[in-house]
Amino acid sequence: MTGQQSIPDDPVYSRKVLEMLTVANEYCLFLEKAEDYTKQELYQFLQKIVPLIYLKASLLPVVDAEDEEATEHYVTEEQWETMFNVLRNKFEAEDQFHFIDLHERSHTDALTGSMAENFTDIYQDLKDFVLLYQNPLKSFKENAVQDCRHLFENRFGFRLVTVHAALHYLLFTGEKDEGNF
């Protein structure tokens, strides 16, 4: 009985984690059916969920996993390639965008990015989080939260920001392919 009383106070089961899990799952499920949506529907969904992912990931609690070995990665290279190709075919010529990475180069060096690659990388990180968290053992849940927070801070957080800017441009200021918008 005492173990059950401590669960609500445990950061692994907190509302912030469950909300992140919900948003991550929604993102993954939508992208897994990307072929079924028009480019406009895809852009509109991504434009709304990307800042929500950013917000929810930024609110994840700090969790120290007790068993660092209780972790797994689920998205295979083949699954990544399939998702990437579906998105690249959907985005067509609009897949590439330019951005500046102030952490890696001088502010005058523009880099070229791929929306399909960024969204697929984000998918991989979030799908691994969702699936790892579903393991019934608490140690796996701890690692899921810890890994998701770490990946947000060091990898997918920046990707969310840069790709969201590209989406904003396409939706509101860029030249639009009249057949899709």
Q: What fold characterizes domain 2-62+69-173?
A: Four Helix Bundle (Hemerythrin (Met), subunit A) (1.20.120)
pLDDT > 70 fraction of the chain, expressed in percent and rounded: 88
Question: Structural domain boundaries of the chain?
Answer: 2-62+69-173
Query: pLDDT band for position 160 (50/70/90)?
Result: very high
Q: What is the pLDDT of residues 73-95, one digit of tens each?
A: 999 999 999 999 999 999 999 99
pLDDT greater than 70 at residue 180: no
- The string over 144-160, giving b where at least 16 C-beta atoms fall within 10 Å of a residue's C-beta and e elsewhere, is bbbbbbebbeeebbbbb
Give the whole-angstrom CA distance, residue 120 versus residue 66.
30
Query: pLDDT band for position 4 (50/70/90)?
Result: very low
Its pTM surpasses 0.85: yes
